[in-house]
């Protein structure tokens, strides 16, 4: 049984179809779903969580899940650093398949959800891809599929990149402050020397 992350997308005018598919998925129309999240891409590139369901848990907590991390990265400051924001990936989603060799998974997901689009992200174990393919085709969605481990590995790598970027930024800031302090000390020393050794006229 393969573990996948699915993304089904609709344009802004088809949001009702996304909500309908979400409702049917919650009703366990498809088995072995770990988590379902419906999102809308906001004008600023962030994501609005419209609804979420985790059939494996009843506590409603999604923030610690892979999907939660995925949404947080794509729509947050880390996405800006990595060039995954909507502005950095301008273009329609119809050519995603042609760019799979050029875009990493997170880039593909971000580009598939442009401003105004609604998507359903599904964490699922699949014995056959045909069931989900037919379900989302019926709901007139564009469906994408990625290996769970591949998405997870890329998220981990992205977090490591963010941490390294933050470390380098802090280091650069410290060096800048050190240089500024050195210049101030030099200026004060020159003023001190001028006080005791005035320039002869």
pLDDT in tens, 93-130: 434 344 444 447 888 888 888 888 889 999 999 999 99
Q: Summarize the confidence of residues 137-164 as an average pLDDT.
A: 84
In a domain, 169, yes or no: no
In a domain, 172, yes or no: no
Domain that holds residue 14: 2-156
What tokens appear for 55 in the block? 């059939």
In a domain, 46, yes or no: yes
pLDDT at 78: 52
Q: Name the average pLDDT for the chain.
A: 74
pLDDT at 198: 60
In a domain, 168, yes or no: no
DSSP single-letter state for residue 67: H
pLDDT at 183: 74
pLDDT of 42 > 60? The answer is yes
User: Are the beta carbons of 123 and 35 closer than 8 angstroms?
Assistant: yes
Highest-scoring range by mean pLDDT, 53-67, 117-131, 185-199: 117-131
In a domain, 173, yes or no: no
pLDDT at 164: 61
In a domain, 109, yes or no: yes
Neighbour-count burial of 36, counting CB atoms closer than 10 A to its CB (0-12 exposed, 13-18 middle, 19+ buried): buried
- Does 195 or 132 have the greater pLDDT score? 132
- Does 108 or 75 have the greater pLDDT score? 108
Beta partners for residue 36, in sequence order: 53, 122
In a domain, 192, yes or no: no
Cα separation, 114 vs 159, whole angstroms: 23
What tokens appear for 109 in the block? 């997901």
pLDDT at 177: 73
In a domain, 189, yes or no: no
pTM: 0.66
18 CB neighbour count, 10 Å cutoff:
25
Neighbour-count burial of 8, counting CB atoms closer than 10 A to its CB (0-12 exposed, 13-18 middle, 19+ buried): buried
Q: Domain count of the chain?
A: 1
DSSP single-letter state for residue 58: S
Kindly indicate the confidence band of residue 163, based on its pLDDT and cuts at 50, 70 and 90: low
What tokens appear for 1 in the block? 């049984």
């Amino acid at each position: 049984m393969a573990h996948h992350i699915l993304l089904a997308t609709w344009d802004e005018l088809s949001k009702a179809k996304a909500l309908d598919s979400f409702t049917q998925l919650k009703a366990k129309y498809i088995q072995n779903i770990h988590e379902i999240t419906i999102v809308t891409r906001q004008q600023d590139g962030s994501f609005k969580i419209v609804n979420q369901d985790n059939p494996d848990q009843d506590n409603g907590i999604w923030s610690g899940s892979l999907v939660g991390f995925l949404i947080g990265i794509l729509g947050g400051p880390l996405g800006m650093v990595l060039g995954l924001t909507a502005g950095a990936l301008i273009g329609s989603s119809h050519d995603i398949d042609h760019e799979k060799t050029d875009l990493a998974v997170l880039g593909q997901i971000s580009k598939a959800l442009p401003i105004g689009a609604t998507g359903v992200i599904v964490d699922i174990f699949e014995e056959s891809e045909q069931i989900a393919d037919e379900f989302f085709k019926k709901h007139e969605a564009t469906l994408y599929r990625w290996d769970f481990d591949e998405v997870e590995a890329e998220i981990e790598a992205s977090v490591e990149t963010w941490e390294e970027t933050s470390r380098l930024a802090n280091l650069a800031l410290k060096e800048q402050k050190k240089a500024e302090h050195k210049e101030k000390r030099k200026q004060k020393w020159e003023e001190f020397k001028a006080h005791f050794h005035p320039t002869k006229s």
